[in-house]
Structure 1
Amino acid sequence: MTIRIKLILSLLLTCCIYKTGFGQATAAQTTIIPELSDANIQRLIDTAIKNYPRIGYFKNRVSVAEANVSKVKASWFDALTVSYVYQPNDPTINPVNPTSTYFKGAQAGVFLNFGSLLSKPSAVKQAKREVMVQQSEQEEYINTLSYEVKRRYFMYVQRVAELKLQIRSADDAETQLKDFKIKFEKGEETFDSYSKVLIQLTEHQQTKVQAEANVFIAKAGVEELIGTKLENVIK
C-alpha cells in the first residue's frame, strides 16, 4: 500500500468519525465549560470578600474616614468659647480703691471665632471626599480580587481537565503495553516495538504526576484567596 493510499484512507476514516458524532462527543467530554458554574464562582467571590485579610484593611480605612466626618462635624463647637468670672462683692478685696470694680458677682461670656467657624464647611466636605476616596479604593480592590478569584478558579478547572486527559492517556498506554507484551511473548512484535511502548507509558505516567501536582498548586492558589478549603465552598 502506497503512502498516498494510506493518507486517503486516513482522511476517509477521520471524516467517518466526525459524521457519526464521535468526534463531537469526545470534544464535549474534554471541555471545561460545564464545570464553570456561575453560582460556584459567585460563592467563591463572596467567600474571598468575607475572608481575605486585605479586604478588612480597606474596610477599616473606610470606617476611620467615616469617623473623621463625625469628628469634624462635632468640631463646630470649637468656634465657641465660654468664659466665667466671679467677682465677690466684698470691698475688703481691694482696700485701696474698693469701688474700682464696676461689675460684682458672677460674670459669664461667650466668644465666637469667625475664622474657625467659616472653615468648618470646607473641612466637612474634605472629610466626606476622603470617605468617597476610601470607598472607591475598596470597591476597586474588590473588583481586582473578584477577577483574581475567577482567574485562579478557571486555572484550577483547566488543570483538573488536563489531569483527566493524562489519566486517560496513561490508561490507554498501559492497555497498549499489555497487548504488546502478549504479542512480544508470542513473537508477533519485536523487542524494539515493545520497548517504545514501554517508554511511552513511562512518559505518560510522568506527565500524569506533573498534572496531579498542577491540580494541587492551582487548588492552593484558589484557597489562598477564599481563606478556606475549596470543598467548603463548592459542594
Structure 2
Amino acid sequence: MNRTYTIVVVLLLAVFAVPQGLKAQNTIINDISEPYVDKLINTAKLNYPHIKSLDSRLTVAKNNVSRSKISYLDALTFSYVYQPSTTLNLNTLQPGTTDGSVGTNNRTSLFSGTQFGLFFNLGSYLQKPYAVKQAKQELSIANNEIQEYLLTLTTQVKKRYYMYVQKLAALKLQSQAAIDGESVLKDIKYRFEKGEETLDTYTKARINQTQQNQAKITAEADLFMAKADLEELLGEKLENIK
C-alpha cells in the first residue's frame, strides 16, 4: 500500500513541478504592448547620452555649412586711409636757425582726405566651393550617423523590453511552481508525521521545494538584470514611464 501511495506522490510531484501558470499561459504575446514600446523608444531617444552627442555633432555640421557659405566674402578686403590736406612736421629745422632748435614745417599732401580700397583675392575665392562641398559632406555624414544609431537604439530597446517581459513571465511561472511545491510538501509532511509516508518520500519533497525556491530566486535576479539593462537605454526608471 505504501509503495502504491509513493508512486502516486511522485506523480503528483511531477504534475506540480509543471507550473500552473504555464498550463494556463504559454505565450507572452498578450503581455507585449506596442504603444508602450514606442514610448520606451521615444524616451531613449530623448535621454540616451550618445544620441545627444550625435545631435550636437549634427548641429556643428550645419553651422559649418552656413559658415563656409558666408566665407565667400573673405575673398574681399575693404580698407581705407585718411590723409589730411596738410601735415605738421615737428622734426624739421626752421630756415635760418643754427641753434638746433626744433621748428615746425607745414607740408601740403598731393592726395588728401579719406581714400577707400576694395581688394579681391582670387585664390581664396576659388577655394570656397571646395570648402562648402566638404562642409555639406560632413553634414550628410553626421545626419547618416544619427539615423543609423536611431535604428540601432530602436532595435536594442525592443530586444531588452522583450527580454524583460520574458523574465517577468518566467518569474510568475516559477513563483506559482514554488507555491504548488509548498502545497505538496505540506501534504507529504502531514502524512509522514502520521506514519503514512516514508522518510525517503518526505526528503524528496523537501529537496524539490528547495530547488523550486532557488529557481524562483534566480528568476527574480534575472528579472532585475533585464530591467537594469532596459533602463540603461531609457535613462529613466521603468516605473516612471506610463
With the length of structure 2 as denominator, give the TM-score of the two structures.
Answer: 0.79
Aligned residue number for residue 224 of structure 2: 216
Say which of 80, 83, 98 aligns to 2:79.
83
Q: In structure 2, how many angstroms separate the alpha carbons of the residues matched to 1:137 and 1:165?
A: 42
Q: In structure 2, how many angstroms separate the alpha carbons of the residues matched to 1:91 and 1:46?
A: 73
Gap change, CA 1:30 and 1:91, over 3 Å in 2: closer
> Whose helix fraction is larger, Structure 1's or Structure 2's?
1
Aligned residue number for residue 3 of structure 1: none
Deviation at 1:57, TM superposition (A): 0.6
**Structure 1: gaps spanning 5 or more residues:** 1-24
**What is the RMSD computed on CA atoms of the aligned residues?**
2.3
Aligned residue number for residue 202 of structure 2: 194
Aligned residue number for residue 164 of structure 1: 172
Aligned residue number for residue 59 of structure 2: 63
Say which of 122, 130, 142 aligns to 1:114.
122
Q: In structure 2, how many angstroms separate the alpha carbons of the residues matched to 1:75 and 1:81?
A: 12
Aligned residue number for residue 205 of structure 1: 213
Aligned-partner SS, 1:30: coil
Q: In structure 1, how many angstroms separate the alpha carbons of the residues matched to 2:226 and 2:122?
A: 63
**Given the alignment of the two structures, is residue 229 of structure 1 paired with residue 229 of structure 2, yes or no?**
no
Q: Which amino acid aligns with 2:132?
A: V
Larger radius of gyration: 2
Say which of 106, 117, 132 aligns to 1:124.
132
Aligned residue number for residue 8 of structure 1: none
Deviation at 1:32, TM superposition (A): 0.9
Q: Which amino acid aligns with 1:89?
A: S
Aligned-partner SS, 2:206: helix
Q: In structure 1, how many angstroms separate the alpha carbons of the residues matched to 2:204 and 2:210?
A: 10
**Structure 2: gaps spanning 5 or more residues:** 1-20, 93-106
Aligned residue number for residue 40 of structure 2: 44
Aligned-partner SS, 1:107: strand
Structure 1 residue runs of 4 or more that deviate by more than 4 Å after TM superposition: 25-28
Contact 1:30 1:161 in 2 (8 A): no
Gap change, CA 1:27 and 1:42, over 3 Å in 2: farther
Contact 2:84 2:113 in 1 (8 A): yes
Gap change, CA 1:43 and 1:91, over 3 Å in 2: closer
